[in-house]
Structure 1
Amino acid sequence: MTSPSEKPSTIRALARLYPFAKPVLGRLVLGAVSALGASLLALSIPLVLESLVQGPIATGDVSALAWGAGLILLLGLLEALMVWLRRWFVLAPSTSVEYDMRTSFYERLQRLPVAFHDRWQSGQLLSRMMQDISMLRRWLAFGLVLLVVNILTILVGMALLFRWHWALGVTFLIVCAPLWYAGYRFEKTYGTLARRSQDQAGDLATAVEESVHGIRVLKAFGRGKHALVKFARQAESLRETEIDKAKAVGWIWFWLVLLPDIAFALCLGVGIVLTQAGQLQVAELVAFFAMATVLRWPMESIGFLFSFLLDARTASDRIFEVFDEQNTITDPTDPVTVAASRGALTFEGVHFRYQDAPASERDLLDGIDLSLEPGETMALVGLTGSGKTTLTTLPARLYDVTGGRVTIDGVDVRDLTLHDLRTHVGMAFEDSTLFSQTVRENVLLGREDLVPGSPEAERVLREALAVAQAGFVDELPDGVDTVIGEEGLSLSGGQRQRLALARAVAARPAVLVLDDPLSALDVDTEALVEDALREVMSDTTTLVIAHRPSTVMLADRVALLEAGRVTAVGTHSELLRTSEHYRYVISSLEDAAERRDEASPRTRPVPTTEEVPR
């Protein structure tokens, strides 16, 4: 029912499921064989009816009639058994395929670079992960098997219709032939609508996710109604697309029901004429219509199954769009191993620009040369847009340089496996993200070497929490075993930042990258954290973005960034004396810090310095 130009693409799209379906292909085939057996048993019943009409019914032989009725009952029971076997064969394997696809999809999302996640909406990824993969599972278990079996049933049944008289078969075939053209038109229309619908469903999922995560902002600004209007507009677009899909399905169903009925009427007229002419017996005419009735359901189901096929094809396209995304940040072919990193971090002629940046724009990082000695703490300062945050993403390869290189102990970070590299490099971000797990699991996220619940794991946990001044966790309902809310939104911004900092400290990396991790803390708590961090950073190479003068004071040296370039490096006092731009930046940081401190009242008792481990 598809055009020659369309069929290869549909087959090719769905054939990509073969690696996932291969382990269970045997059971899927057995399911199809069972379904075909059920159809063949149904097709054999009209043949038995023909014998009954010609024999026992015509002669009045009651005993033979009873045997015939018993045979039909037996065929019906066997058909029901085959239907049960079909479901038994295919249901469990299809869920295995769904599981494998979903875990592979999730693994792919974990491996794809941050640049990919910058471009893709989370709702689109969620709809592919859940709805599209579930649709493919239902199609493998139901749609594919029945589509193949019903097409074979129609072909076998059509051939049997010619068994009684060629005129009846030709009449039925000619009247039903336009269904193939209707199917071709249906594919053209429905395929486009199916893709639009699934994409709109992804956009709608994104809107819901954004609204839930931003519920505090919407309530604070009284913009709930505005969000509702926008959501309703998107939901209405999806509704209109679904209506268009329903119209397309209704159109194909109209022809699938109408044409067989017309064929029945014409065949009845032809059959009466042939019977009167003595070319066809009444028993044969009864058998013909019984066979045509058996074919009614397979023919009517083709419209639904074909729309299911197109939905599955669209789902496959959407899923493999993600699988086909190029992963530019991968492990090297011949990785280098750094057993015990000293933490010497160097940026050598580093350039960076985003892939979609216009060619006319300069590189965001335009030739960075910077060296950090083992155990040294260096602060990055600069105005907004100078490239500070971008620079901190490069040591852990969240992004790859587009020119130059970043090295640890003289080894290019691209020559290390990602697992090895991220064992040596730890990060804490200003926008701290926590997971819907316990406090313990969040803090020890980077310590897969620790045995959960062991004394060593408890020691590391407590030290990290103390450094981050996160003693508030003991006041939570279950202490460190409290499951925090989604993304940690049940905690304050300062609490989330302290747990994120504790997570970075607990990882004990050779290189620690801090993207202004103390921005949400009040000045007293920040001072306590900074005192504790000095102890931690004494043997850790630390690169920290400073948005407060007090953070700058943590550093051994300071690097000044201007328009993607390091324009000065030195101690805080040296740069104050020699760089006018540095003095301007520090003055701006002081003004911003004063405004923020005035707007952040202290809400908790501040621990004394004796509570900080030394």
Structure 2
Amino acid sequence: MFAFFERLVRPYPDAIPPVPPRGLARFIWACSDGLRGHVAGMAALTALIGVFEAILFGFMGRIVDWLAEVPPAQLWAQRGDELLALAGVLVGSTVLVAAQALLKYQTLNGNFPMRLRWNFHRQMLAQSLAFFQDEFAGRVATKVMQTALAVRDVVMLLTDILVFIIIYFATMLTLVGSFDTTLLWPFGIWLLCYLAALRFFVPRLAKVGQAQADARSLMTGRITDAYTNITTVKLFSHAQRESGYARSAMHEFMGTVHQQMRMVTALELVIHGLSVGLVLGTTGSALWLWSRGEVGVGAVAAATAMALRLNGISHWIMWEMASLFENIGTVQDGLNTLTRAPTVVDRADAQPLQVPHGEVVFDHLVFGYGASKRVIDDLSLTIRPGEKIGLVGRSGAGKSTLVNLLLRFHDLADGRILVDGQDIAGVTQESLRAQVGMVTQDTSLLHRSVRDNLLYGRPDADDAAMIAAAHRAEAHEFIQGLTDPKGRSGYDAHVGERGVKLSGGQRQRIAIARVMLKDAPILLLDEATSALDSEVEAAIQDSLYRLMEGKTVVAIAHRLSTIAAMDRLVVMDAGRIVEQGTHAELLAAGGLYARLWAHQSGGFLGEE
């Protein structure tokens, strides 16, 4: 039975959802897609439970009247059938409660937030590189996790509070009014005062809840940032500085907590005062009516019991409302991140990229980051199939930006990039990047096994192909000696976050092996051997040359051994191509390349 209800909702739907709308109500409505029928079913059952609970007080009043009117020896003879019917209704209510609980806890409580996490996570993975450059990774992860829970809680709390309380209260007032309409006055006055108190406190709690959610995200982001960059923290002996950095965020968070708790305490006192007034008013009115013979003992008992029940419910509503608006604040905090549309998207008619030859054409490119000046300024360049070019220039000349544009990490302001005659703006991003292999200077590995990291290049490769790539990259030997704290070794050993358990040279060799396994027709090298010592570089240089065979290669490098392998050198400055040619031709020209070469030091091109 549990499994049946758990399977009613798919927590991992295949369809990629659209970017959610920005408005709070519209966002929550969009998040409930695929779940609304189950939420409505739970609401209907909650309403029936509310009616049932209120009617029980009416039955209780009738029982009290029977006890007052019927001699004890005659109770079962005169009222036995009605008592048994009441007992049957009570037992039968278990089915109602069970159905509501199964829908609430088995169908919705776990599946609802997991479905949202799954959708939010896929939306974040679709974001452009620039998005993550402007955000704490921990902050984004926190918003994905806590917003999913907050949306679930908002929907569930609204269903519980609004449905249960409205139906329960309406039924209860009907029953009280059936005894005598005078008894409605204490309940009516209490309701008006209660709503006024909520109207005063709830918006303030919502505002504090939003500030608290933002402060929590900032606090988590700062703490995660320190852990992610723990090597830098240790290297500069800044543990105390990082503690202070996190403490300032914690202090800001605690300020919102104190504000919230002050208002909660004030609301608690107000609600308690109203509840005391309701019990006194209801009991006094009922006793006054009884003393005049206008109501029976049962009416006094039922009305007093209802007032006492409202005392408990009012405190429950208070806490639920506080929780509701804290969660609304959390949802509002997550809106800015989770509703942001990706800046780089595939066209509706995008087709997979086909690369039979590997020609790359940069046609009058213009690009700048945001409102900044142009980083690439009317650049045109044709790379023939199988040609190997080296990009050379000062820092900030636009070399890495050009490579990022070829990968379509950003969209152009003007111009186009063609691969075998196909504009990359009109092909799918995944197919484009599947045809490109890249090794960067700052290699980051996934916190998984060596095997998982290598197979990232080609997930369908078998062990033989994977090990062969490791051999070619001179990585197999050190991989064999790896272990981790859980006893895993070799290719099954985990490498730590960002590959922190490996040396820079080891990480680089795994990255090179990964690209060798991928075997894409276009190869990008951004200081690919800079993390390797001279002996290791010499050992894998032949492997790199073999990797480049038959591929179109773009290499950003200052190291002379890499530049010497290129068919053509392209010199960039201020986003433009200022020189092209072979090493000898450029030296003979006496231009920027010759000046950079003259400043070389230790086998690297210097910077002016």
Please say whether Structure 1 and Structure 2 have the same fold, judged by a TM-score greater than 0.5: yes
1:473 aligns with 2:479: yes
Change (3 A) 1:224 1:293: same
Aligned twin of 2:99: 85
Give CA-to-partner distance per residue, 1:461-488, whole Å, 9 cap, x none: 2343233322321222322232221221
Aligned twin of 1:135: 150
Counterpart contact for 2:142–2:217, Cα < 8 Å: yes
Counterpart contact for 2:450–2:493, Cα < 8 Å: yes
- The aligned amino acid for 1:88 is L
Taking structure 1 as the reference length, the TM-score comes to 0.87
Task: State the Cα distance separating 1:238 from its structure 2 match.
Answer: 1.0
Change (3 A) 1:579 1:11: closer
Task: State the Cα distance separating 1:336 from its structure 2 match.
Answer: 4.4
1-structure distance, mates of 2:245, 2:23: 38
2-structure distance, mates of 1:34, 1:589: 78
1:458 aligns with 2:469: no
2-structure distance, mates of 1:377, 1:445: 25
Matched residue of 1:590: which SS? coil
Give CA-to-partner distance per residue, 1:406-435, whole Å, 9 cap, x none: 111121111211122112122222111111
1-structure distance, mates of 2:164, 2:212: 28
Change (3 A) 1:147 1:493: farther
1:551 aligns with 2:566: no
- The aligned amino acid for 2:464 is E
Q: 1:251 aligns with which of 266, 289, 306?
A: 266
1-structure distance, mates of 2:312, 2:247: 39
Give CA-to-partner distance per residue, 1:349-391, whole Å, 9 cap, x none: 1111112x34xxx201112112211111111111111111111
Matched residue of 2:572: which SS? strand
Matched residue of 1:84: which SS? helix
Change (3 A) 1:36 1:338: closer
Matched residue of 1:112: which SS? coil
Q: 1:168 aligns with which of 183, 206, 212?
A: 183
TM-align CA RMSD: 2.6
Counterpart contact for 2:157–2:320, Cα < 8 Å: no
Change (3 A) 1:130 1:538: same
Aligned twin of 2:447: 436
Matched residue of 1:158: which SS? helix
2-structure distance, mates of 1:12, 1:271: 48
Change (3 A) 1:80 1:150: farther
Change (3 A) 1:30 1:566: same
Aligned twin of 1:187: 202
Aligned twin of 1:229: 244
Aligned twin of 1:418: 429
- The aligned amino acid for 1:214 is N
Aligned twin of 1:375: 386
Matched residue of 2:252: which SS? helix
1-structure distance, mates of 2:287, 2:22: 44
1:36 aligns with 2:42: no
Change (3 A) 1:224 1:556: same
Task: State the Cα distance separating 1:259 from its structure 2 match.
Answer: 0.6
Aligned twin of 2:114: 99
Counterpart contact for 1:45–1:75, Cα < 8 Å: no
Matched residue of 2:417: which SS? strand
2-structure distance, mates of 1:164, 1:549: 98
Matched residue of 1:343: which SS? coil
1:496 aligns with 2:502: no
Matched residue of 1:539: which SS? coil
Q: 1:586 aligns with which of 573, 597, 601?
A: 597
Counterpart contact for 1:176–1:259, Cα < 8 Å: no
2-structure distance, mates of 1:507, 1:163: 79
Change (3 A) 1:307 1:193: same
1-structure distance, mates of 2:341, 2:330: 20
Give CA-to-partner distance per residue, 1:516-542, whole Å, 9 cap, x none: 122211122222333321122121111
2-structure distance, mates of 1:181, 1:581: 76
2-structure distance, mates of 1:528, 1:202: 47
2-structure distance, mates of 1:104, 1:279: 61
Change (3 A) 1:260 1:501: same
Counterpart contact for 1:151–1:298, Cα < 8 Å: no
Aligned twin of 1:540: 551
Aligned twin of 2:27: 16
2-structure distance, mates of 1:182, 1:592: 75
Counterpart contact for 1:381–1:585, Cα < 8 Å: no
Structure 2, unaligned stretches of length 5 or more? 1-20, 484-488
Aligned twin of 2:11: none
Aligned twin of 2:18: none
Aligned twin of 1:215: 230
- The aligned amino acid for 1:353 is G
Task: State the Cα distance separating 1:91 from its structure 2 match.
Answer: 1.7
Matched residue of 2:365: which SS? strand
Counterpart contact for 2:22–2:339, Cα < 8 Å: no
Task: State the Cα distance separating 1:343 from its structure 2 match.
Answer: 1.0
2-structure distance, mates of 1:266, 1:424: 78
Alignment of 1:193-592 (within 5 A): 193-355=208-370, 357-358=371-372, 362-448=373-459, 450-451=460-461, 454=462, 458-459=464-465, 461-471=466-476, 472-477=478-483, 478-591=489-602
Taking structure 2 as the reference length, the TM-score comes to 0.88
How much identity, in percent, do the aligned residues show? Answer: 23
Change (3 A) 1:458 1:317: farther
Task: State the Cα distance separating 1:112 from its structure 2 match.
Answer: 1.2
Range with greater deviation from structure 2 (578-587 or 284-293):
578-587
1-structure distance, mates of 2:384, 2:210: 54
Change (3 A) 1:186 1:74: farther
- The aligned amino acid for 2:164 is V
Matched residue of 1:23: which SS? coil
Give CA-to-partner distance per residue, 1:104-149, whole Å, 9 cap, x none: 1111111111111122221221111212212333444455334421
Counterpart contact for 1:14–1:316, Cα < 8 Å: no
Aligned twin of 1:609: none
| Equivalent residue pairs, number | 576
Task: State the Cα distance separating 1:547 from its structure 2 match.
Answer: 2.5
Counterpart contact for 1:386–1:563, Cα < 8 Å: yes
1-structure distance, mates of 2:127, 2:189: 54
Aligned twin of 1:154: 169
2-structure distance, mates of 1:579, 1:83: 87
Give CA-to-partner distance per residue, 1:225-255, whole Å, 9 cap, x none: 1111221221122122122222222322322
Aligned twin of 2:7: none
Range with greater deviation from structure 2 (564-573 or 255-264):
255-264
1:61 aligns with 2:72: yes
Matched residue of 1:16: which SS? helix
Aligned twin of 2:192: 177
Task: State the Cα distance separating 1:511 from its structure 2 match.
Answer: 1.0
Counterpart contact for 2:365–2:377, Cα < 8 Å: yes
Aligned twin of 1:6: none
Task: State the Cα distance separating 1:544 from its structure 2 match.
Answer: 1.0
- The aligned amino acid for 1:126 is A
Change (3 A) 1:592 1:201: farther
